Amino acid sequence: MAKKRKLQKAPSLRNARNPRSEASGRRKALLSERVRVPARRNARRFLRKLYRGNQRKKAVKKEAKIEAGSGKDREIEKYEVTADGITAGITITENGGEKRYNVKIQDFSFITKALLAEIRNSIVSEVLVSSTEVLDPTALEGLKKKFREKAEQLITEKVPLIKSATTNLLVGRLMQEMLGLDRIEFLLADIDLEEIVLTSVGEPIRVFHKKYGWTVTNIHPKSEEEIINFSNIIARRVGRQITTLNPLLDAHLTTGDRANAVLYPISTKGNTITIRKFRRDPWTITDLIKNGSCTADVFALLWLAIEYEMTILFSGGTATGKTTFLNVCMPFIPINHRIVSIEDTRELLLPETLYWAPLVTRQPNPEGKGEVTMLDLLVNSLRMRPDRIIVGEIRRQREAEVLFEAMHTGHSVYATLHADTAAETISRLTHPPINVPPNLLDAVNLNVVLFRDRKKGIRRVLQVAELIVDENKVTPNILYRFKPSEDKIIEHAKSLKFYDEITRYTGMSFQEITKDLSERKVILMWMVKSNIRSIGEISRVMTLYYSDRKKLLDAANKNRKLSSL
């Protein structure tokens, strides 16, 4: 029987080997490999270029960042100020050329703020305050004491176990909020600040620092109403009002600082306050000699002129230090002479030993009544038997006429005027709006011109001149002038008039005048060497000079201490 043969499956076309397809596959693979290799190389090159480009961009950004600032505030200076018993940290920082003035004040929790609000309401309802206490600047300390005692009592009642340091902190903040200018009190307490400006609620408060110029603070006004409230506080303390009908205010704070306020819409950006701070420790003769603003030779000449009742005008541009220099020279006045000063805003600060009656002008009330002008005070001062009259600034013709009449009737006058040189002083006085007849200028014995270097920020005596009147022509004779290239004040010309007037009024010869000036210079240099610079010390030296000149001169020659006299 024949065996059955097993049938084999035909090979699948999918798995069947096709020589042509295999060859084609090898060609494709080879071609693909040839294409893939350059592609990989190009990709690597592309990535390298991209990386290098990114690195370059990062480097450029880094350099730009370094040039513009690191992005972080760089600390320049750090110190503390204390106001109403509270200490705040002051940090001056710089970022990209912009300087910032940062005030760090103790922050309170929500519960503490609620406690302060409750105590504030209790004080207002329980402490009786008369209108006299509110309006009288001299009653402020008594009012603060009354509020402080009540606040301490209420805090102790509500929080029996509270620490005394915490109590002082809370009471201090209450005093600032209720009777002061809130956080601005810390700026007023910083002796390194000259100006404080509130432009509007939309901008931070700016300050002018003695070392760093204009800086931006981290303090923002809370609202326009707060700025108006500050303006009203300032106005009430000097018996004035600032309202929509009277939107301008020029006054002074209880600290002696000058304040100016302008309300919206006169100030279109918002309500504005500008506070010019005056030194708590005023400049003195010693300070100005030390910092190069003036020399002992010039001060000796001014001392001689002031002692023998010569009239001096102090001229200069804005912020050149006219009032400061006037204030510095006033201790030269003998202590038994009666002084009457007339100012728009109280700026002068004379030693207590001087016989001084300070007068200030007053603006009219909302009804237009009660105004006291500078002319009113000038006329009135002549009835007060003054030996010396000090005028804050000559502005108008009628005031100048009365002032020059006072000079010609034998009164010694000291006044300031806006003029950049001695020649410009003459021009301003003899032309509108002042327009004084040229022949009256013969009563002016000396003209001191002050100058401020706008690049270096330094102040110097630019010129010391006498005014020579020849018929209707007035010319300045410059005795001393400032030499900018050497930063020195040098003698420029010989006197044509001043020494003759000293001789006429005192009988002193030229040799005696020269000797007198050299002795005064010895005393001034001794004061500088011994660092006699406070108002009290300067006053003591001047008192000793007019009572026992030989004793003081002997102490100066032997370099003895002031305390030994």
User: DSSP string spanning 410-439?
Assistant: T-EEEEEEE-SSHHHHHHHHHSTTT---GG
CA proximity to 332, closest of 303, 292, 359: 303
Cβ-count burial of 497 within 10 angstroms (0-12 exposed, 13-18 middle, 19+ buried)?
middle
Are the CB atoms for 100 and 216 separated by under 8 Å? Answer: yes
E strands within 218-354? 248-252, 258-262, 272-276, 312-316, 338-343
Strand 258-262 relative to strand 248-252, pairing: antiparallel
**Helices 498-506 and 510-529 sit at what angle, rounded to 10 degrees?**
100
DSSP state of 372: B
Say what the pTM is: 0.76
Domain-by-domain residue ranges, the chain? 109-182, 183-278, 285-564
Output the pLDDT for position 12.
46
Sign of the CA dihedral with 174 first, then 177, 183, and 184 last:
negative
CA 17 – CA 184 distance, rounded (Å): 97
Tell me: the pLDDT tens digits for 287-314?
999 999 999 999 999 999 999 999 999 9
How many other CB atoms sit within 10 Å of the CB of residue 516?
A: 17
Residue ranges of alpha helices (H) inside 431-509 are 498-506
Check if 183-278 and 285-564 are the same fold: no
* Helix and strand element counts for the chain (H, E): 17, 18
CA proximity to 557, closest of 449, 490, 565, 211: 565
Which residues, given as ranges, of the chain have pLDDT below 50? 1-4, 6-16, 30-31, 34-35, 37, 59-60, 62-70
Three-state SS for 22?
helix
CA 84 – CA 254 distance, rounded (Å): 14
**φ, ψ (nearest 5 deg) of residue 121:** -65, -40
How many other CB atoms sit within 10 Å of the CB of residue 322?
A: 25
CA proximity to 421, closest of 515, 326, 313: 313
**φ, ψ (nearest 5 deg) of residue 62:** -65, -45
Are the CB atoms for 218 and 204 separated by under 8 Å? Answer: yes
Strand 459-470 relative to strand 473-483, pairing: antiparallel
Q: Which CATH entry fits the domain spanning 183-278: 3.40.710.10, 3.30.450.370, 3.40.50.800, 3.30.390.10? A: 3.30.450.370
CA 472 – CA 483 distance, rounded (Å): 31
Output the pLDDT for position 129.
74
To which CATH superfamily is domain 285-564 assigned?
P-loop containing nucleotide triphosphate hydrolases (3.40.50.300)
Output the pLDDT for position 50.
56
Are the CB atoms for 162 and 104 separated by under 8 Å? Answer: no
